[in-house]
Structure 1
């Protein structure tokens, strides 16, 4: 995970999540208001989990990114797709694009900034702790806490909570979900392992498949075939795989089912001419702004 939404997008999500909490609090009274929440908060009941199977034994009919389509990365807010765009990825608090393949962003392995206190209050045992008992933060994103994937019991409980977000994507009409921060074990100072991450991924993939969603691996190129064969991922979302010479690590496993987002390119025509680039390669501004915002960037090949 190298880039995340800007402060404005984070603030918008914070408002949405806060509104959900208020709705749920009011619903405890005699009459619940007729309001549809934007997305399930971490206080929502855990989902019933299907057994993780991995792609080797799973039977599922799901739709990854359309072959040959270019997918726009719209985590900062949805907007009408530009000409030539054949799919979008949007936040779980957003809605899919009508008539177009739509992926749904879920933070599967860390807490979202607006949900940090809810995790600490309602699921404190699922947050990774250091030797002093303090929550372990992502050093690059200090408003996010790592979830504790160290034991099977912990992973099952996390999957029950995060799985509600995954099923929310299906209920909203999304075709797929991408699970961010799969590589959180690399930022845990040795407290977490790749095996634990793969196991939690398999549990969340099983939830997605049971809901009719394709599920995408986010970054973590060093997984090799484990993401596909053990976790059961159907496609990959890679950030800057050309910048870091990692694209083959994804395309060798997922073929054309790879969505690449680049954030820096002095020679975009050269990027487009690179034989290593996935078919769906776009250039976006790092803050993932909308077209109405200053600094918005979207280039396709």
Structure 2
């Protein structure tokens, strides 16, 4: 099952317009390692991947790209946006549900159905769950997603973040965790083959399975400090946990959360709508 906070905290704004930025990112990672496939097999085509800077300051920009303020080292943006030149850049991909407005991109048999009707996310009714229940369907889903992952690499990103890994918990029993892990393994392998690190998004209770079964390298999480879930991720990913906290759900001051040793060092405070800089309500604060 997904953690109790996963369904209450997701907020994703996706750019429909590609933004102009410089393309190449180089030398911005503080660690590089060769990543074997989850099966343990090595591949000559698999590149070494650069991991996010351990404890590096983070900005999360799904609502629109902008130059970060202050000494930010890691930036997450939607796959339609360009990466931030000179910073470790993570490319967001909604991998297990359709994007709002993009349903026509998906073959009919990749959409999960119950009694002839598509199954949607209860919290995001304009997102349809993808049907990962068979190898054939997973391959048809991968035929759409793998080019998106590869485009992230071609655009100059360092890593990819795969969202909605826990869609099986919203499927009414039609999907199983192992179905999603199998698709995740396919996508992580594709990312590694292009030299991208792969980030698990949320799904705290599945972290160990996703790390061992799919080969994820780090985690991107929401409100783990607010819900005191960060140790669950850190037991698996160490200090490569990127945490987003939101202004409308702070159980204590952000300063107190930063001072808490249980909080990740890579933690940013954002407004719930992830507004870009200059917009009303925009908040983007990092720990000292």
Q: TM-score band, normalised by the shorter chain? A: 0.7 to 0.9
Question: Are 2:51 and 1:64 aligned?
Answer: yes
Q: Is the 8 A contact 2:82 2:155 kept in 1?
A: yes
Contact 1:3 1:286 in 2 (8 A): no
Q: Paired residue for 1:283? A: 269
- 1:77 aligned residue (64, 69, 87): 64
Displacement of 1:86: 0.7
Secondary structure of the structure 1 residue equivalent to 2:277: coil
The question of 1:166 aligning with 2:152 is answered no
Q: Do the aligned partners of 1:55 and 1:233 also contact (CA within 8 Å) in 2? A: no
In structure 1, runs of 5+ residues without a counterpart are 18-51
Change (3 A) 1:58 1:279: farther
In structure 2, the partner of 1:239 is 222
d(CA) in 2 for partners of 1:162, 1:61: 21
Rounded to whole Å, the distance in 1 between the matches of 2:229 and 2:258 is 16
Shift of 1:133: 1.0
Return the alpha-carbon distance in structure 2 between the equivalents of residues 271 and 287 of structure 1: 21
How far has the Cα of 1:143 moved from its partner?
Answer: 0.6
Residues 149 and 192 of structure 1 are in contact (CA less than 8 Å); yes or no, is this contact kept in structure 2? yes
Q: What is the DSSP-based 3-state SS (H/G/I as helix, E as strand, rest coil) of the residue aligned with 1:203?
A: helix
Q: 2: CA distance between counterparts of 1:224 and 1:118?
A: 30
Greater fraction of residues in helix? 1
* Higher Rg of the two aligned structures: 1
1:94 to 57, 74, 81: 81
* Cα distance between partner residues in 2 of 1:147 and 1:58: 30
TM-score by structure 1 length? 0.82
| Distance in 2 of aligned mates of 1:272 and 1:69 | 13
Q: Confirm or deny that 1:227 pairs with 2:210.
A: yes
Query: TM-score normalized by structure 2?
Result: 0.85
Give me the CA root mean square deviation: 1.6
The alpha-carbon deviation at position 53 of structure 1 amounts to 3.0
Q: Look up the match of 1:3.
A: 10
Measured after TM superposition, the shift of residue 3 of structure 1 is: 1.9
Instruction: Give the equivalent residue in structure 2 for 1:250.
Output: 233
After TM superposition, give the deviation of residue 245 of structure 1 in Å: 1.8
CA distance in 1, matches of 2:171, 2:51: 31
- The 5-angstrom pairing of residues 66-145 of structure 1 reads 66-119=53-106, 123-130=107-114, 132-145=115-128
- Asked if 1:273 corresponds to 2:273, the answer is no
**1:38 matched residue in structure 2:** none
1:270 CA displacement: 1.1
Secondary structure of 1:168 counterpart: helix
Distance 2:253 2:211 in 1: 33
Partner residue, 2:30: none
For residues 74-110 of structure 1, what are the alpha-carbon distances to aligned partners after superposition, in whole Å with 9 as ceiling and x for unaligned?
A: 0111111111211100000000111111000000100
Map 1:168-207 → 2, pairs under 5 A: 168-207=151-190
Higher share of residues assigned strand: 2
